[in-house]
């Protein structure tokens, strides 16, 4: 998780805010904000995933973020 946090912190703050507020919730069938999220490593290219809850309904949501 430490590596994932470091990679997340390398993303500019304005971009992190956009990612946090642009997550799809299958329960709400729309875009929401992710809350209470954890940051994890994913894939082989040091991609990261935010896993948390929908701000509107509390359903589990995730946001996959590809790294260049």
Q: Each residue of 5-35: pLDDT tens digit?
A: 999 999 999 999 999 999 999 999 999 999 9
pLDDT at 43: 80
What are the CA-CA distances from residue 25 to residues 59, 61, 68 (Å)? 7, 6, 26
SS3 assignment, position 55 = coil
Question: So where are the chain's domains?
Answer: 2-65
- pLDDT > 90 fraction of the chain, expressed in percent and rounded: 85
At residue 67 the predicted structure's pLDDT band, cuts being 50, 70 and 90, is: confident
State the average pLDDT over residues 22-49: 94
Distance CA 47, CA 25 (A): 21
- pLDDT > 70 fraction of the chain, expressed in percent and rounded: 99
- Rounded to two decimals, the pTM is 0.90
């Amino acid at each position: 998780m430490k590596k994932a946090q470091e990679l997340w912190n390398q993303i500019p703050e304005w971009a992190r805010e956009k990612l946090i507020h642009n997550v799809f919730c299958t329960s709400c069938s729309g875009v929401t904000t992710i809350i209470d999220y954890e940051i994890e490593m994913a894939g082989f290219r040091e991609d990261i995933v935010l896993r948390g809850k929908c701000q509107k309904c509390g359903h589990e949501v995730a946001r996959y973020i590809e790294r260049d």
